[in-house]
Structure 1
C-alpha cells in the first residue's frame, strides 16, 4: 500500500490512543450530534459556562494582554447591553470589520448573547466588493477598527444600512481603558460600552441554537461574495467535533491563531475548539513565518490553526536547532498537501494533524478523527463522489438525467445529501442557494449540495482533497471567485473581454490567478499597470491576477462559451502567437512583461511566489 492509503490495520493501530481520549470523545459526540434547534445552547452560553468554570484562566492572549474568561464574559455583557441601548434585538445583524485582536471576539460574543448576528467582513476587501458584501446583509451597525477606517472613506453613500450614523469606531490602542478619538461620522464604541455593567443579560426571548450567530462571506462557486449564515449550532458542532473529538482540548491548552477571524476555519473551528477546552486562544494580526515559533514559545502554544499555504511557508524557513524546541504538538485546519505532510510533522515534531474539510455554507464536513496521514478524514454525513465534466463543477448526467458515482480511488465531485438532519443553510440570496443545489440526482425529489470540490477515497471511507473545480480556485489560503474578478475587470473600462482562471506554479499551494483579456479598442494604448492600479483599488491582494495574458481574441465554442480549459492549459507560457504575458513578480509594484528566461525561472521554481 502507498502512503496515501488508509487500511483497517492503520485504524486498528490508532485505537489505543482513541481509547485514552474516550471521555472527551463521548462528550464531543454529544455536542456534535445535538439536534434540538430550540435549545438555549449558544455561543453566549458556552462563554458563560467557561466564565463560571475557568474564570481566572486566560481566554485570549494578544501581544502583552491577557484576558481571562471572566473578563471576556463581562466585556461581552457590556457590549450586549450597549447594543440593546442602540435598539438592536434578536434577529438583527451588524457588520464587523476588525483585524485579529481581542475586540473582535468580544463584539461577536456580545452580539451573540442577545441574538444579533455578526457579518464578518473580509479585511482585505475594499471599494465595490466591500460595499457589495455589506449590502447583502443591510446591517443595523458597522463596527470598524481604527486600522481599517480608510477602507470606508467615501463608501457610506453606497451602503444600505437604513441608519444615518451606522459606524461604530474601536480604537487600535491595545488596552482595555484607552478609548481613542473617533473620526467624524463614527460613534466611539469603547467609550459608550464602558457605561454599562458586566452582568449576564436576562432576556424574555433568548437566542436559540438554530438562530443565526454569524455571516461568513464566501466566493461560493460563482459571482461576487455571498453571505452564508452560520447558526449557533455550527459553534456547538465545532465545540464537540473539533475541540473535543479531534483535539481533546483542555484548560492548559493554548491555540495559536494567525488565520483571519473572518474565516470559518479561524472563528468557528479554532475558537470553537478553544471554547470546548476552556483553553486560551493566542492571536496574531497576520501570519509571519519568521515570528511563528517565537510566538509559539512565548505563548506556550500546544495547538495551532493552519491552512496549507501557511505550512509551506514554515517549511521554507531555514532548518535550525530550535525546530522542535516548542510545546506545539497538534494542529487543526485544512489544505495540508500530501507532498509536505510527513515532512512537516517530522521536522517540527507534530503528533496530531486534525485536517478537516468543510465550507462556510455547506452541509457536509470531514475530520481526520483517527489522525491518519494525507487525508481529510471521514464523515458521518451522507455524501457521494460523482463523475463531472472536465474543467467545470458540473456533474455528468446519463440519458435519464441521473448522476453516476466514480469508482473507488478515482477523483469525483463531492456532493452532500440535503435532508432534515443535514440541512443546507445556504446563502442570504435565494438564487445563489438554489444554484448550489443539485436536484433529482439519483431519484426523483432528492437534493444534494454541490461542493464544487474534487476528492477521492483512499480507503475505509477516508477522503483526500484533489482540487477545487470550476469558477473558484484557492490562492494564498483564500478562495478566489473568477466571476468576482471578472466583474471588477468589466468595470475598469480598460478591457473588452476577460476570462479569469487559476494556474499552477511549481513549489506553491493552490493556483495563482491569471486573466486572459482583450484590451478596449478605443484608440488608446493599453497600459497594463493602469489596470494593476485599478485592481489594487478594488480587490484584495490575493485576488489580483498574478499573470495577465493580453490577446486579440478569446476563442469560444459554437454556443459562445469560452474554451477555458484550453486557455488554462497554456498557463503563463509564451507559445500562443502574438500574445503578451505579464506577471506580478514578488516584491514589485506592478506587472512585468515575461521573457522566455523568466518563464523558465518561474517553472523551475527559482522565482518564489
Structure 2
C-alpha cells in the first residue's frame, strides 16, 4: 500500500502562490497566534467590525434572502438586547435546536455579544440522546425551530432549564418578515426581538477571547454524545488560520455551506473563514448533490465547505458539460480521500484544496497551507506521532515508562502537547476530559492530548491521515488499515461507497476484514443482485496482499450516516456478516478458493459453528 511523499522541491513550487497571499498570511498569522485569553476579541466583536467595514456587503445568502453585514449585525443586536432583558449574561448558556438557516447564526452572534454560550444541538437527535445532550449543558433557555418542534416536545418534560420561561420558538419562515404562529407554552423569539433596538449593546461584563462561545457535541457513533466547549479563541484561530492564511478570503468571496452548522467544520471553520474576509456565507438546509452546482452558480460561490463524502457524492453524479461552468476556486474541509482527491480537482477545475485536520475538543490542528496533494498539511502547534497498541487508543510505553516516537513515514498515534498557548478545552464531563489526557509521555510532568487518530509524516512536516483508532484491525498476524483498503476499493470503479472494518469469526484470532459497499451506478431494481463480486475479487487480488482482502462483502443500496456524514461503523460491525437484512447480498471468501461465494443460511451456520477453517 503506497503513500505520498512531499519534498522541499514540491514546497518551492508553491512559493509564487504563497507570495500572492502574503498580506493575508501575515495578518492571519497574527490572529492565529494570539495568546491573551483576556483580550476582548470575540465572535461578537468580529461581526461588529465587519458591519463597520463592509456594512453594505452581503453577510448571508439563503434561498432568496440577502442580508448585509449591517442588517445582520442589527439583527444580532436585537437578540442580544432581548436575552439581556431576560437576565442572561456572561457565563450563561442557551441551547439551539434549529436546522441550517440565518436565524441560527443570528442567535449565535447575538448571544456571543453578551458572553452567552450556545449549545449547538444535533438536529438528527431525538429521545434519550437529545435529552442527554441538553442535560450535559443545563442551559437557561432553548430556542426550538418549528421544523424540530416534534422531537423536542417528546422530551420537553424531562429537561430542567434555569429560567422561568425557557421555551423560545422560531417559525419555519423568514422570521424578519413573518413571525408565524406561536404554539402553546412557547415565547415567540422573533416577535420579542423585533421590539428592541439594533444598536450594538453596551456590555459592562464583557466576554473575552478565552470564554466559551459554543458547545459542540460528538456524533455519538460509539456511545452517548459528549459536549465540547469552544471558546471565542477558536473562532479567532479559524478566522486567521483558515480564512486568511489558507483561503485568502476577501469581500468578493462567497462560501457555499451545506454542512450542518451544529458541527465544527460548518460553524467554526466555514463561518470563521467567511468572517475573516468580510465575505458572504451561502447556506442550504441540507446537502443535495443534484442541486449543488445550480446553487453554486446562483450565489456566485467561490469557495465551499466539504467533508469527504460530499465530494464523493458529487463525483458520482453523471458527467456534464457544465462540470466546469462555475465560479468555485477553493474548498475547505476534511476527509477527502487520496483516491478521489485528484479526480475531483481535475473534473471540476478546483484550484485550492484546503484540507485540514482538527477536532471540536482538541488543541491541535493542521492545514494544507501550501495546497499540496493528499495531505492535511502542517501545524505550528507542538505534536508527536508515537507508537501505539494495535486497535486501541493506547500508546506504547518503554521500559522507562515513556512513549516512543515513530520514524518518518511510519503511522503513529497523534498527540498534541498541552501548554499555556495550546490549551486543551476538553469536554463538559471531567471524566471524559481526563481520559483524553496523557501524562509523563516524554518527561515527568508533561501533558498531551490523545487525538485517537493515526497519521504519518510524508515530508517537510506535512502529515497524512491514516486511520481513526479502532479502525485498524489485525488479521493473519498482520495489521490492516481500513482507510487504505477503502482507498484501493474506491479506485476500482465498482463502488459508489465502501466502508471497511473488522469482524470476529468464531474460532479465529483477530478480526477478519469486511466491506459494506454500494455498487457503482446501481439500477434501483436489480443493481445489488447484479453486482459482479468476482470482478471485485480479481481486482483486490491484484492490488492488495491476501491478508488485507476483505473476507466478507455486504452489498447494499445505501449506508446509514450521522448528521455530520460520518458512517455508523458501530452499527455495521454489530450487523457483521448476518443475513438479517433481506435486501442485502453478503459474500464470503472461503479458504482455498479464488472467488467470493454468496452467503446463505446453511453456510452462515457452518461458519458460526467453527466448521470453516479460515
The answer to whether the 8 A contact 1:259-1:306 is kept is yes
CA 1:300–1:443: 2 relative to 1, 3 Å: same
Corresponding residue number in structure 2 for 1:24:
24
CA 1:140–1:543: 2 relative to 1, 3 Å: farther
Q: State which of 499, 505, 518 in structure 1 corresponds to 2:516.
A: 505
TM-score, normalised with respect to structure 2: 0.80
Q: Secondary structure at the match of 1:56?
A: coil
The answer to whether the 8 A contact 1:59-1:280 is kept is yes
The Cα shift of 1:336 comes to 0.4
CA 1:36–1:22: 2 relative to 1, 3 Å: same
Corresponding residue number in structure 1 for 2:136:
136
The Cα shift of 1:14 comes to 0.5
Corresponding residue number in structure 1 for 2:580:
582
The Cα shift of 1:154 comes to 2.8
Whole-angstrom distance in 2 between the partners of 1:319 and 1:460: 36
CA 1:602–1:334: 2 relative to 1, 3 Å: farther
Which runs of structure 2 are paired with 1:368-407 in the superposition (5 Å)?
368-407=368-407
Does residue 201 (structure 1) correspond to residue 201 (structure 2)? The answer is: yes
CA 1:542–1:172: 2 relative to 1, 3 Å: farther
Whole-angstrom distance in 1 between the partners of 2:63 and 2:362: 34
Gaps in structure 2 of 5+ consecutive residues: 473-481, 487-498, 502-510, 521-559, 590-594, 600-614
1:370-426 per-position Cα deviation (integer Å, ceiling 9, x unaligned): 000000000011111111111111111122221111111011110111111111000
The Cα shift of 1:229 comes to 0.6
The Cα shift of 1:542 comes to 5.8
Whole-angstrom distance in 1 between the partners of 2:222 and 2:312: 28
Whole-angstrom distance in 1 between the partners of 2:123 and 2:135: 16
Which runs of structure 2 are paired with 1:162-311 in the superposition (5 Å)?
162-219=162-219, 223-311=223-311
Q: Secondary structure at the match of 1:466?
A: strand
Corresponding residue number in structure 2 for 1:75:
75
Does residue 450 (structure 1) correspond to residue 461 (structure 2)? The answer is: no
Whole-angstrom distance in 2 between the partners of 1:10 and 1:131: 50
CA 1:454–1:4: 2 relative to 1, 3 Å: same
Whole-angstrom distance in 1 between the partners of 2:359 and 2:586: 39
CA 1:175–1:84: 2 relative to 1, 3 Å: closer
Corresponding residue number in structure 2 for 1:159:
159
1:76-132 per-position Cα deviation (integer Å, ceiling 9, x unaligned): 000000101111111000000111100000000000000000000000011111000
The Cα shift of 1:158 comes to 1.8
Corresponding residue number in structure 2 for 1:514:
none
CA 1:542–1:10: 2 relative to 1, 3 Å: closer
Whole-angstrom distance in 2 between the partners of 1:137 and 1:332: 30
1:23-45 per-position Cα deviation (integer Å, ceiling 9, x unaligned): 01000001111111111111001
The answer to whether the 8 A contact 1:129-1:225 is kept is yes
Corresponding residue number in structure 1 for 2:55:
55
Corresponding residue number in structure 2 for 1:93:
93
Q: Secondary structure at the match of 2:291?
A: helix
Whole-angstrom distance in 2 between the partners of 1:461 and 1:547: 35
Q: Secondary structure at the match of 1:256?
A: strand
Whole-angstrom distance in 1 between the partners of 2:93 and 2:148: 20
Q: Secondary structure at the match of 1:149?
A: helix
Corresponding residue number in structure 2 for 1:557:
none
CA RMSD of aligned residues (A): 3.0
1:527-571 per-position Cα deviation (integer Å, ceiling 9, x unaligned): xxxxxxxx99x9999649654767xxxxxxxxxxxxxxxxxxxx5
Gaps in structure 1 of 5+ consecutive residues: 483-499, 510-534, 551-570, 573-579, 584-590, 604-609
Whole-angstrom distance in 2 between the partners of 1:471 and 1:55: 48
The answer to whether the 8 A contact 1:403-1:442 is kept is yes
Whole-angstrom distance in 1 between the partners of 2:51 and 2:240: 18
Corresponding residue number in structure 2 for 1:470:
470
Whole-angstrom distance in 2 between the partners of 1:129 and 1:428: 16
Corresponding residue number in structure 2 for 1:123:
123
Whole-angstrom distance in 2 between the partners of 1:207 and 1:80: 13
Corresponding residue number in structure 1 for 2:548:
none
Q: Secondary structure at the match of 1:165?
A: coil
The Cα shift of 1:157 comes to 2.4
TM-score, normalised with respect to structure 1: 0.81
The Cα shift of 1:581 comes to 3.2
Corresponding residue number in structure 2 for 1:563:
none
Whole-angstrom distance in 1 between the partners of 2:239 and 2:598: 43
Corresponding residue number in structure 1 for 2:6:
6
Whole-angstrom distance in 2 between the partners of 1:367 and 1:200: 34
Whole-angstrom distance in 2 between the partners of 1:417 and 1:269: 22
The Cα shift of 1:600 comes to 6.2
Q: Secondary structure at the match of 1:295?
A: helix
